[in-house]
Structure 1
Amino acid sequence: VQAMIEPFVDAEVDLVAGIEARGFVFAVPIALELGCGFVPVRKPGKLPAATLSRDYALEYGETSLEIHTDAITLGQKVLVVDDVLATGGTLAATCQVLKELGAVVAGISVLAELSFLSGRDRLAGYKLESAIVY
């Protein structure tokens, strides 16, 4: 977790957005360490209040993700956290929905990056840090 936090300690992050489900494992301790809030990004139908949804393509089909519409205050800096960067579809959709809610994406932190799938290319323009690259 420390390797995932280190590149962002001076980023003045307001919230950490963790992507269901394994992203939660890393996002919560990162939020605690940075002294900021945690926001879950979930699969459809799992959040109790009004949500904003974003569809995105997978290697084998299509799915969507959701976030509460009241989770972000305009201009908040959000660090996006997940366990693995593969094709970049989930992370790109998460960044898009956060921006639609008025967030500033402070960066993306993942435990492992599968570089042979070129997911980093879909996330050009974001500060992206991977603790491990395969």
Structure 2
Amino acid sequence: MGFAMIYTLPVRVYYEDTDMAGIVYYANYLKFIERGRSEWVREIGLDQLRMKEDGVVFAVRRVEADYTGSAKLDDLLTVETEVANVTAARLIMEQRVKRGEDVLFHAMVTVVCMNEAGQPVRLPGEVRKLVH
């Protein structure tokens, strides 16, 4: 498995996702991409509960996002998640929320690992192996 793998997650827009104008509230795109990353982690075989038992958890350090379109009630969206870069201490994910072929939201998300004291630690070897 390398950086070329794109994981996709279908997401339906529900009434609770929309604002008074009837479009998806901007913060909900962050929830959609969080679900995409969470399901991607499962798909590649990472056990976050075991990581936590070992004293290491994932944390989002940075999100750079562009809103390029609007989703509406009952739209079927696709969240695309792929690895853009891996270093010893960071995992950079590229994520898109699309309706059909139209990109509505694009984000670069930097994920790090932290120990129980909230201090940054290197990505576990298992993580680096699974994402390369």
In the superposition, the TM-score normalised over structure 1's length comes to 0.26
- Structure having the higher helix fraction is 1
Higher Rg: 2
Bigger relative contact order (CA 8 A; separation at least 6): 2
